[in-house]
Amino acid sequence: MKFTAIIVAGGSGMRMGAEVPKQFLPIGNKPILMHTLEAFHRFDRTMEIILVLPQSQQQYWSTLCSEYAFTLPHRVVDGGETRFHSVFNGLQQATGHYVAVHDGVRPFVSAEVINRCFEEAQRTKAVIPVIDVYESLRQVCDSQLSVAVDRSQFKLVQTPQVFEANLLRSAYQQPFNPLFTDDASVVEAYGATIALVPGNRENIKITTPFDLQISSALLG
């Protein structure tokens, strides 16, 4: 059974206040994106890894790979106008029977979660990792009113989101919709049911300077 990981990394450094895109910022001894690719390679050294990057960032990535002697096997594919179009481009190159789509700035996904997702996908065809909501939640009804909601009815969604390859390709033939916030929303709109498995709380998406501080602590 062949697996593919599509790593989507099209962010900028705007919220970081950085001059370079956030996926290239260093944590520990190398850029965030390298840690992310290594997480999947450690899980399965035969896994096909496809990195989706904007064309404008590809030369910089190549320079970083040389600078850090980063030789992990992967293929670079052009990013699209939106995340939806970037994943679509990555799918054109994917050859695995099951495909994981993962955020490039989530370097702390555990091998257990990756394994859990691929195993469940082989049973249900579509799966996402989630974690519980620990804070109280309120729903804003208008500018003057909000109401408490039952947090046990909600989950926080992570990646990798893993799908049977043909299902994911078929779902991505749909026209783009701004309501497609992740791959699960695309597949669900196609008519499939999404299974849930436990994620790992350390699997944060690094988007702010505070997230970088947390990342340094996680690396120890």
Domain boundaries, the chain: 3-219
Tokens of 193: 């049911």
Sorted by sequence, the CB contacts under 8 Å of residue 122 that are 6+ apart come out as 1, 98
* Sequence-separated (6 or more) residues with CB below 8 Å from residue 46: 2, 3
Q: What pLDDT does 220 receive? A: 78
Confidence of residue 12 (pLDDT cuts 50, 70, 90): low
Which range, of 1-15, 89-103, 140-154, averages the lowest pLDDT?
1-15
Compute the C-alpha angle 196/23/99, nearest 5°: 35
pLDDT value, residue 116: 98
Average pLDDT over residues 194-215: 95
8 Å CB contact between 23 and 105: yes
Of 19-28, 37-46, 73-82, 108-117, which range is least confident? 19-28
Residue type, 54: P
pLDDT of residue 206: 95
Residue range 207-215: average pLDDT? 93
CATH 3.90.550.10 correct for 3-219: yes
